[in-house]
Amino acid sequence: MNQWDFVIAAYGVSVPALGWLVLVSFNQMRRAEQAVDEMMRGRK
C-alpha cells in the first residue's frame, strides 16, 4: 500500500473527531446559555 494512504487515513479519522468535539461542545454551551438568557428575560 502507498504510504500516503496511511497519512490520509490518519487525518481522515482525526479531523472529523476534532470537528465533532468542537461542534458538540459549542452547541451544548450555546443551547445552555440561550436557555439562561431566556429565563433571565422571563424574570424581568
Give the footprint of another protein on this chain (CB under 8 A): 1, 3-4, 6-7, 9-11, 13-14, 17-18, 20-22, 24-26, 28-29, 31-33, 35-36, 39
Q: Give whichever of 11 and 44 is closer to another protein, judged by the CB atom.
A: 11
Shortest Å distance, C-beta 9 to another protein: 5
Joined grid coordinates for residue 18: 476534532
Three-class SS state of 44? coil
Shortest Å distance, C-beta 41 to another protein: 13
Residue 5 CA to residue 23 CA, distance in Å, equals 27
Residue 6 CA to residue 26 CA, distance in Å, equals 30
